[in-house]
Structure 1
Amino acid sequence: MEIQPMTVQKFTLKFAIASLALASTAVIAEPIKGEAELGIVATSGNTTTENINAKLKLTTDTPNWAHEANLGALGSSNEDADTGVDQTTAEKYFANYKADRKLDDRSYLYGLTTWEDDRFSGFEYQATTGVGYGYKAIAEEDKTLSFEIGPGYRYNAIDTTQAIAEEDEDEATLRLGERYDWKFSETAELNQYLTVEGGEENTISRFGLALKSALSGALALRVGIDVKHTENPAKDATGKEFDDIDTETYATVGYSF
Structure 2
Amino acid sequence: DGEEGRVKQTTAQRLYTYVQSDYKLKVENQRLFVYGDYEDDRFNGYDYRSSIAGGWSQLVWRNEISDFRFSVGPGYSLAKLESGEKAENIHGFIVRASAEYHYIWPTGAKLRQFVSTEAGEDNIKSRTETSLSANLFESLALKLSFIMQHNSNPTDSNTALNTETSVAVVYRFF
TM-score (norm 2): 0.91
Partner of 1:101: 23
Question: Superposed, which structure 2 residues align to 1:9-28 within 5 Å?
Answer: none
Equivalent of 1:111 in 11, 23, 34: 34
Map residues 10-89 of structure 1 onto 2, 5 A cutoff: 83-89=5-11
SS at match of 1:171: strand
Deviations 1:171-215 (A, max 9, x none): 100011110011122421100011110011111011110000000
CA RMSD of aligned residues (A): 1.8
Q: What is the identity, as a one-letter code, of the residue corresponding to 1:205?
A: S
Structure 2 segments unaligned to the other structure (5+ residues):
none
Task: Name the structure with the higher helix share.
Answer: 1
Verify: 1:177 aligned to 2:98, yes or no.
yes
- Structure 1 residue matching 2:154: 3-state secondary structure: coil
Matches within 5 A, 1:3-14: none
Post-superposition Cα deviations, 1:71-108, rounded to whole Å, max 9, x if no partner, equal: xxxxxxxx9xx931321110001111111001143111
* Stretches of 4+ aligned residues off by more than 4 angstroms: none
2:44 aligns with 121
1:18 aligned residue: none
TM-score between the two structures when normalised by the length of structure 1: 0.63
Aligned partner of 1:251 in structure 2 is: 167
Unaligned runs of 5+ in 1: 1-78, 236-240
1:69-218 correspondence to structure 2 within 5 Å: 83-103=5-25, 104-161=27-84, 167-218=88-139
| Counterpart amino acid of residue 128 in structure 2 | F
Supply the distance in 2 between the matched residues of 1:83 and 1:151 (Cα, whole angstroms): 53
Q: Which residue pairs with 2:150 in the alignment?
A: 229
Letter in 2 for 1:146: R
- State the SS of the aligned residue for 1:159: strand
Identify the structure with the greater strand proportion.
2
